[in-house]
Amino acid sequence: MKPSVVTIEPSFCKDCSIRGSSVCSALDASELRQFEHLGRRAQFAPCETVFSEEDIATSYFNVLDGVMRLYKLLPDGRRQIVGFALPGDFLGMNISGRHNFSADAIGAVAVCQFAKAPFGRFIEDRPHLLRRINELAIRELSQARDHMVLLGRRSAEEKVATFLLSWRERLIPLHGPSNTVALPMSRQDIADYLGLTIETVSRTFTKLERDGVIEIIHGGISLLDPARAEALAAA
Amino acid sequence: MKPSVVTIEPSFCKDCSIRGSSVCSALDASELRQFEHLGRRAQFAPCETVFSEEDIATSYFNVLDGVMRLYKLLPDGRRQIVGFALPGDFLGMNISGRHNFSADAIGAVAVCQFAKAPFGRFIEDRPHLLRRINELAIRELSQARDHMVLLGRRSAEEKVATFLLSWRERLIPLHGPSNTVALPMSRQDIADYLGLTIETVSRTFTKLERDGVIEIIHGGISLLDPARAEALAAA
DNA sequence: CGTAAAATTGATATTTCTCAATGAGAGTGG
DNA sequence: CCACTCTCATTGAGAAATATCAATTTTACG
pLDDT tens, position by position, A183-210: 999 999 999 999 999 999 999 999 999 9
Q: What is the CA radius of gyration of chain A?
A: 19
Pinpoint the residues of chain A covered by CATH 1.10.10.10: 152-234
Closest listed residue to residue A229, CA positions, set B101, B76, A221:
A221
Average pLDDT, chain A: 93
User: Which CA distances in Å does A74 have to A95, A201, B102, B157?
Assistant: 21, 21, 30, 15
pLDDT tens, position by position, A4-46: 444 455 578 888 889 888 899 989 888 888 888 999 999 999 9
Return the pLDDT at A235. Answer: 65
Helices A156-175 and A226-234, axial angle in degrees (round to 10)? 130
Architecture per CATH, A4-150: Sandwich (2.60)
Mean pLDDT, each 10-residue run in order, chain B (235 residues): 46 86 90 90 95 96 97 97 97 96 96 96 93 96 98 98 98 96 98 98 98 96 97 88
Beta bridge partners of A82: none
Residue B96, SS3 per DSSP: coil
Which residues are within 7 Å of strand C by their Cβ atom? A 186-188, 198-199, 201-203, 205-206, 216; B 155-157, 195-197, 199-200, 218
Residue B40, H or E segment: strand B39-44
User: Given A94, A147, A192, which is nearest B138 (Cβ)?
Assistant: A94
Helix locations, chain B, DSSP H: 29-36, 116-124, 127-153, 156-175, 187-194, 198-210, 226-234
Q: For residue A96, which residues of chain B lie inside 8 Å, CB to CB?
A: 142
Nearest-Cα distance to chain B for A128, in Å, is 9
pLDDT tens, position by position, A57-114: 999 999 999 999 999 999 999 999 999 999 999 999 999 999 999 999 999 999 999 9
> Tell me, in Å, how far CA of A189 is from C1' of C5?
15
On whether the CB atoms of residues B13 and B33 are closer than 8 A, the answer is: yes
Three-state DSSP string of chain A: CCCCCEECCCCCHHHCCCCCCCHHHHCCHHHHHHHCCCEEEEEECCCCEEECCCCECCEEEEEEECCEEEEEECCCCCEEEEEEECCCCEECCCCCCECCCEEEECCCEEEEEEEHHHHHHHHHCCHHHHHHHHHHHHHHHHHHHHHHHHHHHCCHHHHHHHHHHHHHHHHHHHHCCCCEEECCCCHHHHHHHHCCCHHHHHHHHHHHHHCCCEEEECCEEEECCHHHHHHHHHC
Return the pLDDT at B3. Answer: 40
Closest listed residue to residue B140, CA positions, set B95, B99, B84, B185:
B84
Kindly determine whether residue A72 and residue B146, on different chains, have CB atoms separated by under 8 Å. Answer: yes
Return the pLDDT at A10. Answer: 53
User: Given A130, A151, A234, which is nearest B151 (Cβ)?
Assistant: A151
If you measure CA to CA, which chain B residue comes closest to A152?
Answer: B195
Complete edge-to-edge strand list for the sheet that includes strand B39-44: B6-7, B39-44, B109-115, B59-65, B90-91
* Chain A residue set in contact with B, beta carbons under 8 Å: 72, 74-76, 78-80, 82, 93-96, 100-101, 127, 130-131, 133-135, 137-142, 144-149, 151-154, 192, 194-195, 234-235
Mutate which of A149, A196, A201, A230 to disrupt the B interface (most B C-beta within 10 Å)?
A149
**Phi, psi (rounded to 5 degrees) for A144:** -60, -40
- For residue A200, give the nucleotide whose C1' atom is nearest its CA: D18
Question: What CA–CA distance (Å, rounded) separates B171 from B86?
Answer: 9
Q: What is the CA radius of gyration of chain B?
A: 19
Residue B99, H or E segment: none
pLDDT band (50, 70, 90) for residue A1: very low
Which DSSP string do the residues of B19-31 spell out, in sequence order? Answer: TTSTGGGG--HHH
Q: What's the CATH number for A152-234? A: 1.10.10.10
Pinpoint the residues of chain B covered by CATH 2.60.120.10: 4-150
- For residue B206, give the nucleotide whose C1' atom is nearest its CA: D10
